[in-house]
Amino acid sequence: MEEAGAAAAVAAGPGPVASESELNLSRLGVSPEALALELEVRAEERRGSRETQRLLLPHNRLVSLPRTLGASFPQLQLLDVSGNGLVALGPELLALRCLRTLLAKNNRLGGPGSLPKGLAQAPLCRTLQVLNLSGNCFQELPPALLEMRALQTLSLGGNQLHTIPPEIENLRRLNSLRSLSLHNNLLTYLPREILSLVHLQELSLRGNPLVVRFVRDLTYDPPTLLELAGRTIKTRNIAYTPCDLPGNLVRYLDLASNCPNPKCGGVYFDCCVRQIKFVDFCGKYRLPLMHYLCSPECSSPCSSASHSSTSQSESDSEDEASVAAHRMQKVLLG
């Protein structure tokens, strides 16, 4: 009786607003059960006449997505569930095959299972263009986001991100991401791979404790005998075939990474030295990017830059700046 009365209040009250393609049920102040019942009623009213494409559910008391979301609104293109108490976006999300915009800011997302299993293989992965997860509790970038093939705008501001994984270069294959918002997190540097986002036009970094000086004297564990042997084979271009070495060693040698210092020419496998290099964007902003060098003795351009003037430092990063400046139209640092 209580749920039926609440649902009746929803239907009669001034809160819900409907148009031909939009259903606005924001700030209702009713229980999640009553809201779910109202959604079913509204969906049935619209079935066969005008399909809902925009569903607004912000500032309610949702702790999970309505179970019948996909069945009730199969043509949904925009879903706004911001300002609720969501701790997970459940499998109900995967049923929205036409969704292009998902706004889920200011919830409690960020723990294990915050995103539904199978997201990377779902049709949603190929349709979603705008995703806003700002104001949640993410401490790391969910791997499934790196598989969103159509994503153009990704907002992750106001979370607890400490690092951005180098795997973010996977988005390079998508040729889609235009805007990346990382403001108000705990980032101290960005991976070098972020330069691979060739179509990125806006990058928001304000409110992060980005490094203000180069990192020196980092802990360095010497390479193993296996790695030293692998480095020797790679740097001296010693020829080998699968008949010469066991399969596990051939696979290991295939994992060699080139040292980014153009003056070095060395390689590394598991043992490397991390250093920060500042790269100019648009001739105005200096962005700290992580570099992985093969050894502490490697003569890194970023090391020499830290002891030189600003003009010299800019010259050191000229090669990357010339590539990146035309890609990044707006970098927000403050």
pLDDT score, position 189:
82
Strand-pairing partners, residue 24, are 17, 56
180 vs 256: CA distance, rounded Å: 30
pLDDT score, position 30:
80
Strand-pairing partners, residue 330, are 202
Residue with tokens 């019942």: 37
Give Cβ neighbours of residue 32 (< 8 Å, ≥ 6 apart): 60, 61, 62, 63, 64, 66
Which of these, 183, 177, 190, lies nearest to 205 by C-alpha position?
183
What tens digit of pLDDT does each residue of 214-251 get? 334 445 678 899 999 999 999 999 999 899 999 999 99
320 vs 252: CA distance, rounded Å: 30
pLDDT score, position 297:
75
Indicate yes or no: pTM above 0.75.
Answer: no
Cβ burial of 278 (10 Å; 0-12, 13-18, 19+) is: buried
pLDDT score, position 250:
92
Tell me the CA end-to-end span of the chain in Å, nearest whole number.
53
Hey, what are 20's tokens? 């031909």
Residues of the chain with pLDDT under 50: 1-16, 212-218, 300-328
**Three-class SS of the chain:** CHHHHHHHHHHHCCCCEECCCEEECCCCCCCHHHHHHHHHHHHHHHCCCCCCCEEECCCCCCCCCCCCHHHHCCCCCEEECCCCCCCCCCHHHHHCCCCCEEECCCCCCCCCCCCCCCHHHCCHHHHCCEEECCCCCCCCCCHHHHHCCCCCEEECCCCCCCCCCHHHHHHHHHCCCCEEECCCCCCCCEEHHHHHCCCCCEEECCCCCCCCCCCCCCCCCCCCHHHHHHHHHHHCCCCCCCCCCCHHHHHHHCCCEECCCCCCCCEECCCCEEEEEEEEECCCEEEEEEEEECCCCCCCHHHHHCCCCHHHHHHHCHHHHHHHCCCCCEEECC
